Amino acid sequence: MATSDIAIKKAKPREKQYKITDEKGMYCVITPSGGKLWRLDYRFNGKRKTLSLGKYPEISLQDAREDRDKARKQIAKGIDPSEIKKIDKVADAGKDTFEAIAREWHTRNTAKWANSHTVTIIARLEQNLFPYVGTMKMNEITPPVLLATLRRIENRGAVETAHRVKGIAGQVFRYAIATGRAERDPTPDLKGALTPVTTQHHATITDTRKVGELLRAIDGFTGTLVVKCALLLTPLVFLRPGELRHGVWSEINLEEKQWRIPEDKMKKRRKHIIPLSDQAIAILEDIKQLTDRGPDSFIFPGIRDRKRPMSENTVNAALRRLGYTKEDMTAHGFRSMASTILHEQGWNTDIIELQLAHVEKNKVKAAYNHAQHIEERTRMMQSWANYLDGLQRDKENHVVSINKA
C-alpha cells in the first residue's frame, strides 16, 4: 500500500530502525537518530539488491517515486541502477579535479581567443599537466608538486615552455578559486624556482644590402609555386606565419586591393585589414588559378591535402633550403624586418603598429578601429613594396630610403 507525505513527515524515531513501505519495492527507513532514508529493493540477475534514493525531506516522496520509476525502467532494459549510480559518483568526484576544471576554464575562454591560441593552450595542458596532476584535486597540488611537474618540462630543455605552462596553471587555479573549488594559487610560490628564460627575438635581417640578397634568393627559389608565392608574399603583408597560411580566398578582394581577416583568426582577436600593394596583387593573381577552389579554399593549401593549410614549417624550411639558418632568418622575422626599417625611415609608429596588428597598452590608442588610417597604411604598404623591389634590383645597394610621397 502506498504511503503519504504526511505519514513520512509525522514518523517518529524508535529504539530500532523501521520502515514505512510505499509501493513497487520502495520504502522509507526511519533511523533511531531521526533520519528518513528512501530505499528501493529490486532483483537483478537473480540477486536481491538495494538502491539508495536519497534522504527526506531533501528528496520528497514525489521525487523518490520518480527516481524509483527511472530505476525500474533501467532494470527492464537490463541495466543495473546501482552500477549506474557508482559511475555517476565517480564522474561527480572527477568534476573537481585539475583536468576537469582546466577544461572548463579553457571552454569558457575559447570565444575570446584566436583559434591557434585555443589549440596551443589545450595542447600544453594535455601534454604537460594532465598526465601528472590531472586527476588530483586542486588543493592537493602544492607548490612542490607543481614544481616537480614543471621540472619535467625543464629537463627536456623546454625552459620557455615550462614558464608558459606555469602561467596557464596559475590561470586555472585563479578560476578554481573564483568558482569555489580551490583555496589558493601555488604558482606565486614558485617565483625564482624555474630556470630564467633567455629572451630570444625572432631572427631577422635589417641590413639593406643583406635584405636585397635575401629577396634575390627568394626570387630564384626553385620549389613549388605555392611555396614560392608564400615566400614572395610574406614580406609584403606583415602577417604572422599562422595567419598567412590560414588565409582563404573569401578574405581577398582583388578589386579593392585588400585582405580582410576576421577577428577569430587573429592573435589579438581584432579584425585586420591588409592593404595589398600592386606587387602583392600580382603574386595572388599568379597563384589564384592554382589554389582558388571556392571561398573557403586556402590560398596556400597543404601539398598532400588541399583541405588543410600549408604546414607551419613550410616557409622556414624554404628559407633553410635557400641557405638561411634559423639564426639568420625566420618567417616571423619579416615582421621585425619591416618594423625596424619602416621606423628608421620615419613612418608613424601608430601606423606601423596598426599594420602589424599589435595591440597598444595605452587604452586610448587601443581604441583604433581596424579600418582606421587605412589611406596612410595603404600608402605605406605600397611604398614598402616599391622599396623592396628597389633593394632586390639594386646589387650595389644604392636604395637607402622609402619614397613616402
Rounded CA gap, 240 and 246, in Å? 10
- Asked whether 213 and 392 are in contact (CB, 8 A), the reply is no
From the candidates 72, 184, 321, 368, give the one annotated as an active-site residue.
Answer: 368
For residue 368, which of 379, 355, 381 has the smallest C-alpha distance?
355
Using only C-alpha atoms, the chain has a radius of gyration, in whole angstroms, of 32
Catalytic residue among 103, 184, 202, 358: 358
Name, in order, each residue with C-beta under 8 angstroms of 404's C-beta and a sequence gap of 6 or more. 345, 346, 347, 379, 380, 383
Q: What letter represents residue 194's amino acid?
A: L
Cell, residue 362: 595605452
**Which three three-digit cell numbers place residue 231?**
615566400
Catalytic pick among 166, 181, 228, 332: 332
φ, ψ at 205 (rounded to 5°) = -125, 125
Please enumerate in sequence order all residues whose Cβ is within 8 A of that of 259, keeping only pairs 6 or more positions apart, or say none. Answer: 237, 247, 251, 252, 253, 273, 274, 276
Concerning whether 379 is annotated as a catalytic residue, the answer is no
Query: What H or E segment, with its residue span, contains residue 41?
Result: strand 36-44
**Catalytic choice (267, 269, 321, 373):** 267
Residue 309 has φ and ψ, to the nearest 5°, of -75, 165
240 is catalytic: yes
Angle at the Cα of 148 from the Cα atoms of 145 and 152, rounded to 5 degrees: 145
- Separation of alpha carbons 356 and 182, rounded Å: 40
Place of cell 626599417: 341
Active site residue 267: yes
In this structure, are residues 360 and 366 in contact, taking their beta carbons and an 8 Å threshold?
yes
What 8-state DSSP symbol labels residue 309? B
d(CA 18, CA 39): 12
Candidate list 240, 245, 246, 272, residue with the active-site label: 240
Tell me, yes or no, if 368 is annotated catalytic.
yes
Which of 36, 106, 228, 335 is catalytic? The answer is 335
CA angle at residue 151 from 145 to 157, to 5 degrees? Answer: 165
Distances (CA, A) of 264 to 116, 218, 269, 271: 9, 31, 6, 8
Catalytic positions are 240, 267, 332, 335, 358, 368
